[in-house]
Amino acid sequence: MPLRPFLRIVASGRRTARNLSAEEAERAFRIVLSGRAPVAQVAAFLVALRWKGETVDELIGFTRAARAEANLPAPGAVDSLVSVGTPLAGREKALPLEASGAIVAAACGARVFFVGDPAPLEGEGVSAADVFQELGVGFTDDVGRAERMLEGPGLAVLSAAKVLPGMRRLDSLREDVEVRTALHTVEKLLAIGECPVLVGAAAGPVLGVAADVLRGLGHRRGILLQAPEGSVVPSLIAPTKGLEIDGDALTTLVVDPEDYGFLTSREPLAASPGPRAAAASVRALLLGEHGPARDATLLCAALLQYAARTVPSISEGVGRATEAIDRGKAERVLDALKAL
Is residue 76 a part of any domain in this protein? no
Q: What's the rounded Cα separation, in Å, for the pair 312 and 169?
A: 41
Do residue 41 and residue 141 come from a single domain? no
Same domain, 227 and 179: yes
Q: CA-CA distance, 110 to 305, in Å (whole number)?
A: 6
Q: Does residue 128 sit within a domain? A: yes
Query: Which residues face 250 on adjacent strands?
Result: 245
Same domain, 41 and 120: no
The amino acid at 331: E
CATH of the domain at 33: 1.20.970.10
32 and 152 inside one domain: no
Quote the CA–CA distance of 184 and 89 in Å, as a whole number: 9
Among residues 45, 69, 93, the one where a domain terminates is 69
Whether 211 and 108 share a structural domain: yes
Q: Which of 21, 42, 69 is the last residue of a domain?
A: 69
Same domain, 38 and 153: no
**One domain, residues 174 and 63:** no
| C-alpha separations of 199 from 1, 31, 78, 98 in Å | 32, 26, 17, 11
Query: Which residue from 69, 70, 208, 32 is spatially nearest to 10, judged by alpha carbons?
Result: 32
In a domain, 102, yes or no: yes
Q: Are strands 221-225 and 240-246 parallel, antiparallel or unpaired?
A: antiparallel
The answer to whether 82 and 304 are in contact (CB under 8 A) is yes
Residue 74 domain-assigned (yes or no): no
In a domain, 169, yes or no: yes
Radius of gyration of the chain (CA): 19
Same domain, 22 and 147: no
Q: Cα–Cα distance between 18 and 157 in angstroms, integer?
A: 38
Please check whether residue 234 lies inside any domain of the structure. Answer: yes
What total number of domains does the chain contain? Answer: 2
C-alpha span between 177 and 4 (Å, rounded): 19
Q: Environment class of residue 267 by beta-carbon count within 10 Å: exposed (0-12), middle (13-18) or buried (19+)? A: buried
Closest by Cα among 53, 29, 58 to 42: 29
* H-helix or E-strand spanning residue 155: strand 155-159
Please check whether residues 185 and 319 belong to one and the same domain.
yes
Are 67 and 175 in contact by the 8 Å Cβ rule? The answer is no
**Residues 60 and 190 grouped into a single domain:** no
Instruction: Show the domain range for 56.
Output: 4-69
Q: What is the per-residue pLDDT for 260?
A: 96
Look at the pTM and tell me if it is higher than 0.85.
yes
The domain that holds 314 is classified in CATH as 3.40.1030.10
Q: pLDDT tens digits, the chain, 340 residues: what are they?
A: 589 999 999 988 777 789 999 999 999 999 999 988 898 899 999 999 998 889 999 999 999 999 999 999 887 666 799 999 987 777 776 789 999 999 999 999 999 998 888 865 555 688 888 899 899 886 788 888 888 899 899 999 888 888 888 887 887 787 777 778 898 899 899 999 889 999 999 888 889 999 999 999 999 999 999 998 889 999 999 999 999 999 999 999 999 999 999 988 888 877 677 889 899 999 999 999 999 999 999 999 999 999 999 999 999 999 999 999 999 999 999 999 988 8
On whether both 60 and 127 belong to a single domain, the answer is: no
Where among 25, 42, 69 does a domain terminate?
69
Is residue 124 one of the residues assigned to a domain?
A: yes
Which residues have C-beta within 8 Å of that of residue 205, sequence separation ≥ 6? none
Residues 26 and 157 in one domain: no
